[in-house]
Amino acid sequence: MRHTVEDAVNGLEGVGSPPILRAVQPVYELVDVSNITSMNDLWSPVLKKIEAFMTSADKIAEVHPYAKIAWTALSFVPKTAFAQMNRDNRIKPLLESMDNIYTVVLRAEAEQLGKIASQQDIIVKMTSQTTECAYFISVYTSKKRFWKWIITSAISPVDKTIKEYEDAFKKLQEAFQTSAVCKIEIVVFRMLDTDDDMVADINFNDMDVAKKARFNSGKICLSGTRKSILAEITDWAKHPIDDNFPCIFFLHGVAGSGKSAIAHTIARQFHEDKRLGSSYCFDRNVSTLHGGNLFTTISRDLADLDSAWKSCIIIKDGHTSQYTDAVKNQFEDLFLRPGQQIHHIGPILIVIDALDECGKEGAGHLNPNKHYRKDLLRVFENSGNIKRIPKNFRILITSRAEADISQAFRKLGNSHAICKAMSDIEDNSTNQDISLFISDELKGLEKVLDDEWPNKEWHQLLVNKAGRLFQWAYVACYFIKDNNSGLTPVQKLKVILNSGNELDDIYRTVLKQVSPTSNQHYMNIYFRVMGTILLAKEPLPISALIAFYKPGDFSAEVEYFLRPLGPLLHGVTESTIPVQPMHISFCDYILCESRSKEYFIDLSKQHEHFTKMIFNIMSKELKFNICHIESSYQLNKDIVDLDNKIKAHISTQLAYACQFWSDHLCLSPRSTILLEETQDFIKERFLYWLEVLSIKGQVRKATGKLLDTAKWMEVSTTMTHNTDAGLLRDAAAFCTVFKRIIIQSTPHIYLSALPFAPKASIIGKWYRERYPQLLRVEDGGDETWPTVQQVLAGHTQVNCVSISPDGKVIVSGSDDRTLRLWDPATGNSVHGPLEGHTGGVSCVTISPDGKVIVSGSDDRTLRLWDSATGRSVHGPLEGHTCRVKCVAISPDGKVIVSGSDDRTLRLWDPAKGSSVHGPLKGHTDGVNCVAISPDGKVIVSGSDDWTLRLWDPATGSSVHGPLEGHTDQVYCVAISPDGKVIVSGSDDQTLRLWDLATGRSVHAPLEGHTAWVNCAAISPDSNIIVSGSGDWTLRLWDPATGSSVHGPLEGHTDRVNCVAISPDGKVIVSGSNDQTLRLWDPVTGSSVHDPLEGHTDSVNCVAISPDGTVIVSGSDDQTLRLWDLATGSSVHGPLEGHTDYISCVAISPDGKVIVSGSDDQTLRLWDLATGSGVHGPLEGHTDWVNCVAISPDGKVIVSGSDDQTIRLWDLATGSGVYGPLEGHTGSVNCVAISPDGKVIVSGSSDQTIRLWDLCIVANILCQESPITIDMSFTSMSHFITLFCPAS
């Protein structure tokens, strides 16, 4: 495009104008729009003027990047767009407005040099608005689906948007000409795919969202510094959409090199441009900033930017999709899936700063969420994930160049990520930037310092000493100019120059001035106060730090001590600003004894004291109705002045104590004082604590905190403390069962939750006595807490579950070919989905040490997984010739046993992933189940041949069998922990007990189930057998007598496929075909229902069969699904075949055939009864198929396409009958056939409806052309279907 500049200066040699005038003089004349015959006649001059303007602004650092981006964005509008612009004059006034303002600006600059520089704010907004227009024009004129979006979306009309652009340019032009203060907002066009009113009330309260993660305008680069790297990142972020362009920019460097300042600067710039999707700045000292809420926060921010985002993650009742801690699931469900469903115009930037601070191995209690780091890196290093990120999204990531992080982004390659090292920025550029920074920071001290070091020698000394580290320069300058240390600037500079030039050196220099190692009193204050600052999970202001200390316990000296530490700590200048280390490198320094020596902070010695201070705060400040809520009729979200009430009645220190007391307690050594404090808290202030959590939206974590505290307390050996642990578990049950009530309404903790707590609840009895005026349940009510404790949703059909030996992890396997790991305490997903199998997962088990998961699948293989990370360890293990139905691991963890439909068992070495013995033959039908005795000496197998067999794992030989008694297939076996009894379940609806030593039957069959018995498990104490059945229920049995103990336990809505019992015998887990897992208390029973899922992308079309029994849906996931209209359950699907979005479906009048049309330019025919393909692909269209219809006699299919034509097809054969029918000059968006089958009606984006004579098709030999009738309309948003009366 450089020829445009050459055109601009052509023929001007020798003219005595200033250089800038020569560059712009030929192009600042207004275009005569009356002579325009083609849109290109207007487009070309506008583009020339913008390029000339870019040349003019070349030396203005604050303007040129914006000008360059505007010109680049416009120049990338494809040439094919001109054809559309020629057909659509709506763009013409917009281009005229752009031509006007650039003509005015260029003329003003030619007449008065420096005019552009003097109006920087207006010029920046002008160029930003130009860029927005370029994005809009590009998509408006070239994206085929643009008008479909408008038809199906609740968006502002295009004419209105163009008018807003025009008005913005006129206001900017007026402000430029009058030199007015610019308060004009940039107009940004957004595609809204949903009604704002529908999502207005939706919030993210049920998800962990970081509240203080966004960029900080106080941390941006000094104006005029870092110009080259900022321009490079900006150019990358605003690069026109390109499938092969890298969407990640990874900026890495050493601590203190200025990465974060660059990230904050870019984030602010894009925020002002309304192009910032989200910014997330990790901070290792803030526990609430971690990888576990990165994508929830990004999703929340994107929802704030575009309300359509919310609708893509809603499932029901205004709540966001089921929350999960698993990073991979968040990335998929909260980022990728909404991003693929929403149509964006122009770039969206996401900034992730300090990725290295999201967790680090060896960081101990400072990073309880350190496992998130690995999970995040797995997401980012997977090129398959990156390919699916929306093409207009850009992700800027900054980090130290730590090995695992650098390796992850290097794996992506240049096609997906740009990796830029801070050290790659030229030395001269960095030194110049540091020089500018020092000059700016020490402004006003030049004369004082020049007296000691003439000719600004002091300035160069500081630049040289800083090296390339901005952090060193920052600390030095702050220290020199700070007035709190008692030294003059000259004295402080001498101290700095006499120290080393590393960060450690300057940190020690500052600390020595504030807290000399020779003064023990100051050192004691240092250890206590600095320890508290570093321990805090969230930064606390000076006022809160003082409140934690009792009078006389350093409280009067805290502020005095902190004020001089401004060079090292942020927030010490005011009592209400959170205090935190200015830079993470300072934390690294004082937490490393070999580096900081006398200033080393040993945090392990600080927790107990801080925990005592936290309990003291809650004792003083918690109280009934703490926020003075006047009515119980309003939900929390409806209380108008709730934020003001929170500020007035919940202090910063109390809010912190309520959120983190358990975290600090569990990191403290056990002591009588802390045990008594905990007991007092639960018995006296538990409900007051729940008030604070309810009001502040933190209820979700209450159960986990109480259970963690119970485990901490149970280590104590005294009976009293074990009783206290039971109280905590009861409190946890209270929070779990009444969580929804507590989240929604604070008063109803007392009005609804407390009265309905079970009669046996310790918490219920204790607090009901304290509030005798409350509602009481006089008759009925629960005796104990409900049996169903959690419902875990995420899979399709759940086939198998297993619980880790420590009871902390549940593993589930599903027909969706994946495994998932769950936290039984919270119900949150921990890892998953674990992908690898190519068939449904039929069985899972966990090794005795809890480290390895083994899964078997319909794909005939086994796979081994690391339970800590979810990564694949070995596999696929191949050998079986049919699906693997069961697996077990020996007690010593050295042998895996698998059984298969190939009638054999196989033994495997889990360390190597290799075969040991097998196949073990004997059964005459498929092997359904296996178990290994506690001593590892006997394997038991059950089979479709109605028998059990016992095997020696050392030799692979048969020991006993066949064990006969069942009268149908044996589906499950289990061995009691004492090694004495085998339990088997069968299709004969019974269980049987066998003596493992002899192989003989012990009791008569255990009867009760009304369908086949799928699964059985025995409690750790061998006292309870649990069985699950095709009758949708579980039953509990006494193995000693064979009698029923409890049941049926009802709740599942489909067959129960699997059961497991926790190691402590307190929790039963069941998995079912209803796509859920359920957790049960083995004492009583209850029921919970959970929704089902199907399509994985937008549903574009539905049709209902003529008999009203079947729904057919088509989706952007390229599949169709068939559903039972009465139940909502899936009948068939996904029906796969199309290779692009499915845009339309129709069902034949006899209800036998489905027709689908797709963006892959084809139609396909399907059998409604079976879901199988009948004909297709039907090829002929050369663009997207938008619509289909079937004639009343079921013989002819009619399709309309973006190729502007209609085609007719024979439904019986799938062959083309007639077409293309040509006439429309725009895409055909809808077709219909008259009830008598004689007329086809089509509607098009050319604003016309056409009627076609279908009778001609009945006689292919007829030579007449189809009859067409044009009916023009002024708006394409109204389509009318017309029918001709029968002749």
C-alpha to C-alpha distance for 419 and 414, rounded to whole angstroms: 8
Going by C-alpha positions, the residue among 917, 809, 814 that lies closest to residue 856 is 814
State the pLDDT confidence band at 18, using cuts at 50, 70 and 90.
very low
Q: Which residues pair with 396 in a beta bridge?
A: 249, 351
Q: Is residue 79 scored above 70 in pLDDT?
A: no
Taking the complete model, does pTM exceed 0.85, yes or no? no
pLDDT at 1269: 30
Query: If you average pLDDT over residues 1182-1198, what whole number do you get?
Result: 89
Residue 577: φ, ψ to 5° = -95, 135
User: Of 355-364, 741-750, 827-836, 972-981, which gets the smallest average pLDDT?
Assistant: 355-364
- Tell me the C-alpha distance between 536 and 389, whole Å: 36
The reported pLDDT for the residue numbered 151 is 42
Distance CA 467, CA 254 (A): 12
Q: Residue 111: which pLDDT band, with cuts at 50, 70 and 90?
A: low
Average pLDDT over residues 590-603: 90
> What are the tens digits of pLDDT across the range 476-486?
998 998 887 77
Report DSSP state, residue 356: G
In angstroms, the CA 644 to CA 120 distance is: 40
Query: How far is Cα 287 from Cα 478, in angstroms, rounded to an integer?
Result: 28
Q: What's the pLDDT at 263?
A: 94
Q: What is the pLDDT of residues 448-501, one digit of tens each?
A: 998 889 888 998 999 888 887 888 888 899 899 888 777 899 998 998 888 887
| Tokens 């005026």, located at residue | 773
Q: Say which residues have a Cβ less than 8 Å from residue 1205's Cβ, sequence separation at least 6.
A: 1181, 1219, 1220, 1221, 1222, 1224, 1228
Rounded to an integer, the average pLDDT of 107-115 is 68
The residue assigned the tokens 């207006």 is: 122
What does each C-alpha distance from 898 to 765, 842, 910 come to in angstroms? 50, 11, 12
d(CA 122, CA 614): 52
- CA 1220/CA 1208 separation, integer angstroms: 8
Q: Is the pLDDT of residue 285 over 80?
A: no
**Most trustworthy range by pLDDT among 182-186, 853-857, 948-952, 1097-1101:** 853-857
Tokens for 723?
């009783």
How many CA atoms lie less than 13 Å away from 249 in the CB half-sphere? 25
Report angle CA 500, 503, 509 to the nearest 5 degrees. Answer: 60
Distance of alpha carbon 370 from alpha carbon 372, whole angstroms: 5
So what's the pLDDT on residue 1?
Answer: 34
Res 5 pLDDT > 60 = no
Q: Round to whole Å and give the CA distance between 1250 and 1248.
A: 7
Q: Do 984 and 942 form a contact (C-beta atoms < 8 A)?
A: yes
Please tell me the least confidently modeled range out of 18-32, 79-93, 986-1000.
18-32
Model pLDDT, residue 182: 57
DSSP structural state of residue 753: I
Which of 655-664, 977-986, 1016-1025, 1219-1228 tops mean pLDDT? 655-664
Q: Which amino acid is located at 286 in the chain?
A: V
Rounded Cα distance between 1036 and 1045, Å, is 5
CA separation for the pair 1178, 1162 (Å, rounded): 5
Residue for token pair 């400072």: 366
Q: What was the pLDDT predicted at 997?
A: 83
Distance of alpha carbon 774 from alpha carbon 1076, whole angstroms: 37
Position 1099 pLDDT exceeds 80: no
Beta-carbon contacts of 484 under 8 Å, excluding residues fewer than 6 positions away, are: 563, 564, 566
Q: Which pLDDT score, from 0 to 100, does residue 826 have?
A: 63
Q: Residue 921, Cβ neighbours under 10 Å: how many?
A: 12
Whole-Å CA distances, 675 to 536, 665, 710, 726: 21, 10, 11, 13
Query: Encoding tokens for residue 603?
Result: 């945090």
- In sequence order, the 6+-apart residues with CB closer than 8 A to the CB of 1133 are 1094, 1119, 1120, 1121, 1122, 1171
Alpha helices in 413-469 (DSSP H): 427-441, 446-452, 457-466
User: What pLDDT shows up at residue 1283?
Assistant: 31
The helix (run of H) or strand (run of E) holding residue 594 is helix 593-596
Q: Is the pLDDT of residue 1274 over 50?
A: no
Report which listed range, 39-43, 248-252, 300-304, is most confident.
248-252
pLDDT band at residue 749 using 50, 70 and 90 as cut-offs: very high
With 0-12 / 13-18 / 19 or more C-beta atoms within 10 angstroms meaning exposed / middle / buried, residue 145 is middle
Pairwise CA distance, residues 291 & 405, whole Å: 14
Question: What tokens does 824 get?
Answer: 């039984």
Distance CA(698)–CA(595), nearest Å, equals: 39
d(CA 1121, CA 1072): 22
pLDDT at 790: 63
Strands 1099-1104 and 819-822: unpaired
Q: What is the mean pLDDT of residues 263-287?
A: 88
Beta bridge partners of 1018: 1025
Rg (CA), the chain: 36
pLDDT for 57 equals: 64
Q: Is the peptide bond before 891 cis (omega within 30 degrees of 0)?
A: no
* pLDDT of res. 309: 79
Buried b (16+ CB within 10 A) or exposed e, 774-811: eeeeeeeebeebbbbbbebbbbbbbbbbbbbeebbbbb
Max avg pLDDT among 290-304, 681-695, 1043-1057: 681-695
User: Which residues, 6 or more positions from 369, have their beta carbon under 8 angstroms from its beta carbon?
Assistant: 287, 290, 291, 292, 358, 359
Closest CA relative to residue 1145, chosen from 1156, 1134, 1136: 1156
CA 748, 754, 756 angle in degrees (round to 5)?
A: 105
Neighbours of 924 (CB within 10 A): 12
- Nearest C-alpha neighbor of 125 from the set 57, 77, 173: 173
In the structure, what pLDDT confidence band is assigned to residue 1121 with cuts at 50, 70 and 90?
confident
Q: Give the residue among 347, 329, 306 at the shortest CA–CA distance from 385.
A: 329
Express each pLDDT in 793-821 by its tens digit: 777 778 888 888 877 788 988 888 888 88
d(CA 1085, CA 663): 33
Can you tell me the distance from the alpha carbon of 1210 to that of 845, in angstroms, rounded to the nearest whole number? 53
At a CB cut-off of 8 Å and minimum separation 6, what does 643 contact?
none
Average pLDDT (288-304) is 87
Cα 229 to chain center, whole Å?
A: 29
Query: What rounded mean pLDDT belongs to the chain?
Result: 79
| Strand ranges across the sheet with 884-889 | 884-889, 896-900, 905-909, 914-920
User: pLDDT tens digits, residue range 115-131?
Assistant: 666 677 787 888 888 88
Q: Which of 362-376, 715-729, 1186-1200 has the lowest mean pLDDT?
A: 362-376
CA angle 1024, 1030, 1034 (to 5 degrees): 25
**pLDDT tens by residue, 417-446:** 999 988 887 767 788 888 888 888 898 898
Instruction: Please state whether beta strands 884-889 and 1185-1190 pair in parallel, antiparallel, or not at all (unpaired).
Output: unpaired
Evaluated on CA atoms 1106, 1108, 1110, 1114, the torsion sign reads positive
> Percent of the chain having pLDDT more than 70?
80
User: What is the structure's pLDDT at 1257?
Assistant: 46
